[in-house]
Structures are given as C-alpha cells and as structure tokens.
C-alpha cells in the first residue's frame, strides 16, 4: 500500500485482490465477481456497484457473509482483510505468482522442476549473475523451504 493511499485498509486489501489475483486465470470486473458470488450463494446481497464502493472506500461495512464469499472467491483467508501478518503473507504469495506469470519465468520454473539440488544451485548462481549484470536487485530466498 502506498503511503498516500488514504482508503480504509479493507478497501485497499480488497482492491489488491481484484488487481492481482486471477481466479480461473482472468481479471474479473466488479459485476462479474458479484454474479459469481450470487451464483455460489444465491441469498447473498451484492452487486458490482457495491463492490466498487467497497474497493474505493465509499462503503466500508460489508457483511461477514460477503467477506467470507469474497475470501473464498479469491482463495484467501477471511483474516486477510483484518490481520496484517496474514495480509503480508498473502501479498508475498501473490507477488511470487505474478513473477511466474512474467514471460519466460514459468518456462524456467518448469524446466527446473525435478532437477537435483546441486544443479539448481548452479543454475541459481548463473541467474543471480545475470540479474546483477542487468542491474536488478538480488533475490532474498532465505525464507524458502529446503
């Protein structure tokens, strides 16, 4: 979130989901998400305009059922909307997924799958050298599982 963003945290976090998470591989409009939510939960009262208002901060008190439905739709925990640690974890995962979407990154990852650890370390070293040559920042993968 940028320091100049004065929207409520719920609005910022919901907007981030719309902008970065792609259920079924596509970006969804407010109206499309509302329709999907109502299809999955017919008694839920939601529309595209209301979702837009939640994303901009013009409305800020969605029902628990709506928050649960939004969390399910975007594949996150409801805690994402309220808990800073959960939100940070989700945003990190989203960033990693977005990096994989970039042209060529997925192809590299698919080729690396199943390779021996020592081969992956050699490839990683080469990639780090190329990142440095291009002026890109180093990758901190110290929190990655072994």
User: Does residue 92 register a pLDDT over 90?
Assistant: no
Q: Is 1 part of a structural domain of the chain?
A: no
Rounded average pLDDT over 25-52: 94
Rounded average pLDDT over 104-118: 85
Q: Is 91 part of a structural domain of the chain?
A: yes
Domain range for 67 is 9-134
Tokens linked to 110: 């698919």
Q: Is 4 part of a structural domain of the chain?
A: no
Residues 6+ away with beta carbon under 8 Å from 1: 9, 12, 16
Give the whole-angstrom CA distance, residue 117 versus residue 73. Answer: 36
User: Does residue 49 register a pLDDT over 80?
Assistant: yes
DSSP 8-state class, residue 58: S
Chain centre distance of CA 42:
26
Mean pLDDT across the chain:
87
Q: Is 47 part of a structural domain of the chain?
A: yes
Rounded average pLDDT over 139-143: 73
> Structural domain tally of the chain?
1
Which CATH number does the domain housing residue 77 bear? 1.10.260.40
Q: Is 2 part of a structural domain of the chain?
A: no
- In this predicted structure, which of 50-54, 73-77, 135-139 has the lowest mean pLDDT? 135-139
Q: Is 104 part of a structural domain of the chain?
A: yes
Give the whole-angstrom CA distance, residue 52 versus residue 124. Answer: 42
- Does residue 55 contact residue 14 with C-beta atoms inside 8 Å? yes
- Does residue 71 contact residue 77 with C-beta atoms inside 8 Å? yes
> Nearest CA to 55 among 8, 2, 3?
8
Give the whole-angstrom CA distance, residue 22 versus residue 34. Answer: 15
What pLDDT score was predicted for residue 84? 92
Strand (E) positions, the chain?
A: none
């Amino acid at each position: 979130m940028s320091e100049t963003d004065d929207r409520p945290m719920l609005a910022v976090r919901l907007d981030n989901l719309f902008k970065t998470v792609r259920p079924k591989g596509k970006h969804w409009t407010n109206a499309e998400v509302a329709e999907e939510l109502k299809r999955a939960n017919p008694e839920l009262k939601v529309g595209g305009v209301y979702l837009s208002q939640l994303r901009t901060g013009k409305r800020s008190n969605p029902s628990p059922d709506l928050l649960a439905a939004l969390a399910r739709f975007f594949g996150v925990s409801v805690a994402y909307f309220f808990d800073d640690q959960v939100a940070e974890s989700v945003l990190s995962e989203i960033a990693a997924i977005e990096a994989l979407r970039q042209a060529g990154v997925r192809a590299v990852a698919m080729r690396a799958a199943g390779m021996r650890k020592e081969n992956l370390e050699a490839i990683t070293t080469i990639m780090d050298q190329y990142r440095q040559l291009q002026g890109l920042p180093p990758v901190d993968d110290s929190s990655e599982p072994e």
